[in-house]
Chains A and B, each alone.
Chain A
């Protein structure tokens, strides 16, 4: 309780002090707003604001733990019945969050505990490795590596998909660091706003490569020959071919072996793949050859291989988000209650260099409570806390009941994460 009061107070102070830098989203009076306060685990939805000043007034008073606005536009956003809000279209929202996909660093910093058998371990798992139970509690951490992977996914989404394939005007793209484990992209375009959920699902499939048909794209077996892609078609097959080329040119034999093993391809097949890599590279780069015959690579093995390639080419988007036309997303400039970091809007040019945990540009620094002088004493109240690296300094790992003295922003971060408490 005391922790929450403390956090609420400093969140309020932030909103008061920085009120001039809180941005306005477009058509603010047509958006639905939602807040999660500190004192209750509820979401206060269906709130509307006339304009930015009234919104600011509200949050200075509330100092909310989490703050969202809708991707959708409504005639009367405050109506509690979805059907009566007067839906007027929805921006396209893409959420890229390491919560939803594998990154290697998770084995270092994500801790799970089984609620049934109490065993625990590290990494990303879907069920307990001891008893198989699905009831897990997890403590997910952040590090520069996974945040970098998320950033690269956003960059890939923009420059490999949205721009070349869909001709999306860069000015319509809004990006923000989510304040925790990922990035959001919002696309504001009159025509895209009209897409239904089902139509958005088609877009999602395009961005991820789900439900792709290799046959339709031209992959087929005729007698004993495998006819692959030519790489000069304006469709997904070109993306696949480019990725294969990249792998053949840049990966070491060991890296290829690792990749193919992960895809469940047999050792025999991997060996012949590596033996024929030069030849395959020649075939795949030539305009007039597309017979992809590799020993032990039958049509099934090829499909496994291609599916693996598709996974690498596609973007790791959180599918339910892009499909949902009533989805709420974090408000830019607001604070994330699980970290105390700011949801930081970024222009495309800023994105490239942006380092959420070590940003030099003050205007973009999401760690707004940063202070090296101001120290706080806190007590760890989780069994185990992974190491945190922020602003070039390293803190932890810690164990339960440790009392530590850390800079203000680290203390706030750990309290927000609910692994520490004020003393």
Chain B
């Protein structure tokens, strides 16, 4: 019995988001936030502050993980304070980024757990997961006379699977594409861990709320604690700096190093913004973006980077998919198709060119934009014309100013 508790305590110190925290660390988890924070931040609390600043800086930079942290009680405090911070910062874009970074970090940690611990974690989460000491086979493929047997030690009840995958747009995680029998899906360890990542992400996203009296009050009370206030303001500043960069630019560059985002059509801008905010993209949106950027000859790496902010980002897989799409050589959708897919954002962004069209000298008439690539061509043409006239600003300087 006590062995079991020891194990659980160890797990909690590593993964404080587990539900049993409330039981086993009741004394901390249900403490009044003000009391809790004032105790923790009674002194300068430099080391804990440093850890937070590092985490937020990494989140704002859209890094893919955050350095390992000690497995002890301080980790539990860290997690609880993190939740409070996110709650009172109350900025969706921040919450998204923290949720992504924190959950990706958890993914890395969980991937290294042994099967038994992983199973215990699932138990703690009250997930209906089965563990098989001897792996079970669920799929046979034969490619070029070579038998490929798929085996796993884990199965998960379909409802738990559906709940954990409902925010993932990935075809691989659609129920219809998964092996299942008698209610349980056969799932590889790494995929199970991926679902746990999604759980952790959801845990943090849950914090998102409308600004109301509760949030305002809590913020006011907590900011009376000087060391905490100091940390809070640091984070705020960091964000303000980052935000500016993020609102005015979309960090992609054309092959010759010239920025192009200012001449992108609303439909693309919209998807890029969503990506930057770290919200999920649908399959269609991803494909459209990839084909679009391919058409403009963006380097693979830059395209992959655009996706790095997404919650389910996996560099290897994305690189493969982006390459694959490139080899297919498709052109991006036309405006008409985009409209039917509800991806045209002309009116949302009240874009003149999209809404009103342009005057075509060649045809001697007003014409509508029919393709987002043409939008880019037209804008490119216009802006280079302007530049030509406006020789006051040499090209290089302009580029420097922006980057």
Give the residue name and chain of the A residue nearest to B186 (CB).
A234
Determine if A397 is an interface residue (Cβ-Cβ < 8 Å): no
With A198-B166, A234-B186 known as contacts, the answer to whether A216 contacts B142 (CB < 8 A) is no
Nearest opposing residue in chain B for A214, CB measure? B177
A165 within 8 A of B: yes
Residue of B140, B144, B165, B176 contacting most chain A CB atoms (<10 Å): B176
From 53 to 95 in chain A, residues with beta carbon under 8 angstroms from any chain B beta carbon are none
Q: Does A192 contact B (CB under 8 A)?
A: yes
Task: Name A163's closest neighbour in chain B (CB-CB).
Answer: B182
How many pairs of residues, A versus B, come closer than 8 Å at their CB atoms?
94
Judged by a CB distance under 8 angstroms, whether B178 is at the interface is yes
With the chains together, A220 CA to B144 CA distance in Å? 11
Task: Determine whether A178 belongs to the interface, using a CB cutoff of 8 Å to chain B.
Answer: no
Query: Which residues of B have CB within 8 Å of A148?
Result: none
Residue contact B175 to A222, C-beta cutoff 8 Å: no
Chain B binding surface SS class: mixed
CB <8 Å contact, A236 and B176: yes
Task: Give the docked Cα–Cα distance between A288 and B145 (Å).
Answer: 8
- Whether A203 is near chain B, meaning CB under 8 Å from some CB there, is yes
- Asked whether any CB of chain A lies closer than 8 Å to the CB of B147, the reply is yes
B176 and A212 within 8 A (CB) = yes
The digit string for B124-142, where 1 denotes a CB below 8 A from any CB of A, is: 0000000000000011111
Q: Which residues of B contact A194 (CB under 8 A)?
A: 159, 163
Whether A213 contacts B177 in the complex (CB less than 8 A), given A167-B183, A195-B162, comes out as yes
Residues B142 and A209 in contact, CB atoms below 8 Å apart:
no
- Residue A164 at the chain B interface, CB threshold 8 Å: yes
Q: In whole angstroms, how far apart are the Cα atoms of A205 and B180 in the complex?
A: 14
Which of A44-52, A225-233, A294-302, A415-423 is near enough to bind chain B? Answer: A225-233
B139–A216 contact, CB under 8 A? no
B181 in contact with A233 (CB, 8 Å): no
Residue of B nearest to A231 (CB): B140
State the CA gap A225–B146 with chains docked (Å). Answer: 14
- Whole-angstrom CA separation of A212 from B178 in the bound complex: 10
The chain A residue with its CB closest to the CB of B183 is A167
Give the CA-CA distance A35 to B198 in the complex, in Å: 43
Q: B residues touching A (Cβ–Cβ < 8 Å)?
A: 138-144, 147, 150, 157-159, 162-163, 165-166, 171-172, 174-184, 186
* Known interface pairs A205-B174, A233-B139, A290-B141; 13 further A-B residue pairs with C-beta atoms within 8 A, sorted by A's residue number: A199-B166, A202-B165, A205-B175, A212-B176, A218-B141, A220-B143, A222-B144, A227-B141, A234-B138, A235-B138, A235-B177, A288-B142, A288-B147
List 6 A-B residue pairs with CB atoms under 8 Å apart, sorted by A's residue number: A191-B157, A202-B162, A216-B172, A218-B139, A225-B144, A233-B150
Closest 10 interchain pairs by CB? A167-B183, A233-B139, A235-B179, A167-B182, A199-B162, A234-B179, A202-B175, A216-B177, A234-B181, A206-B175
